[in-house]
Amino acid sequence: MNILLIGYGKMGKAIEAIALSRGHAVFKADNPQELNQITHPVDVAIEFSQPDAVVANLQFCFEKKIPVVCGTTGWLNRKEEMETYCFQKGGAFFYASNYSLGVNLFFKLNEYLAQLMNTQKGYDVSLNETHHTQKKDAPSGTAITLAQGIIKNYPPKKEWALNETTNPDALVIRSYRIDPAPGTHEVRYTSTIDDLEIKHTAHSREGFARGALLVAEWLAGKKGVFSMDDYLKF
């Protein structure tokens, strides 16, 4: 399979290594000029670039009828627009804030715990996320997905806020940037009696990279808009 990597940072390099080990051909584009110079047939693109580049990169793929797997965070205010554009162009689009299987199981555990906590009084919930200092967006896309899962299932929280807030209806997400952390997310329910916490810690980028590649292999040849629920069949 011919894979186009859009964005060649640390995640792109990790995906490339796994793709080559699985017998795929890999082509790289790290800016619009390189993207427009791609002449090889492409079966699927994997997009891990920068927030300000995502929309143009997705539009390129949709117009060229290249299925695209996107993992860039920090641009989701335009995600619905890109889904509409994908349908208009008859393309294929797969977005996830995190491609790790463990993280996606953690998402489901987080939602279930939020449902259970609905019947409990005296608890407040907060969320911590820690990443390496090169991560530009805060909070992380994974943290936002976790926050959305809590808000959907835990009525006391109506929105999320970054780091601090005086609004009792807001779920606080505290973001930390410490090297060389690849990613840690903690959801904590606290009371005067006890604390209840669930936590996911990534040991390397391999889980994210392998997951993105497996999704790309699955997406090739499809049309439509998909998510990890479609891939994992939760």
Say which CATH number the domain at 41 has.
3.40.50.720
Per-residue pLDDT in tens (0 to 9) along the chain, 234 residues:
999 999 988 889 999 999 999 999 999 998 888 998 988 899 999 999 999 999 999 999 999 999 999 999 889 999 999 999 999 999 999 999 889 989 999 999 999 999 999 989 899 999 999 998 888 788 998 999 999 999 999 999 999 999 988 999 999 999 999 998 888 999 999 999 999 999 999 988 888 999 999 999 999 999 999 999 999 886
24 and 85 belong to one structural domain: yes
User: Is 24 annotated in the active site?
Assistant: no
Q: Are residues 20 and 54 in the same domain?
A: yes
Contact between residue 5 and residue 44 where contact means Cβ atoms under 8 Å apart: no
Active site residue: 10, 135, 222, 223, which one?
A: 135
Residues 165 and 190 in one domain: yes
CA distance 48 to 72: 5
Predicted confidence at residue 134, as pLDDT, reads: 81
What is the extent of the structural domain holding 92?
2-99+206-232
Q: How many Å apart are CA 84 and CA 218, to the nearest integer?
A: 21
DSSP 104: H
CB within 8 A of 21, min separation 6: which ones? none
Q: Report the C-alpha gap between 62 and 10 in whole angstroms.
A: 25
- The pLDDT tens digits of the residues spanning 150-185 come to 999 999 999 999 998 899 999 999 999 999 888 899
Identify whether residues 107 and 187 lie together within a single domain: yes
In a shared domain, residues 143 and 175:
yes
Respond yes or no: is residue 135 known to be catalytic.
yes
Are 113 and 23 found together in one domain? no
Amino acid at 44: V
Q: What is the pLDDT of residue 141?
A: 87
Beta bridge partners of 200: 185
Residue 234 is predicted with a pLDDT of 63
116 and 81 inside one domain: no
| One domain, residues 215 and 228 | yes
Find all residues with CB under 8 Å of 41, minimum gap 6, and list them: 2
From 131, 157, 185, 200, the catalytic residue: 131
Give the CATH number of the domain where residue 197 resides: 3.30.360.10
Number of separate domains in the chain: 2
Do 7 and 80 lie in one domain? The reply is: yes
Cβ 29 vs Cβ 223: under 8 Å: no
Token pair in block for residue 16: 């490339």
Across the beta sheet with 184-190, the strand order is 159-162, 170-177, 124-131, 184-190, 195-201
pLDDT in tens, 24-47: 999 999 888 899 898 889 999 999
- 55 φ/ψ angles, rounded to the nearest 5 degrees: -60, -45
pLDDT of res. 56: 95
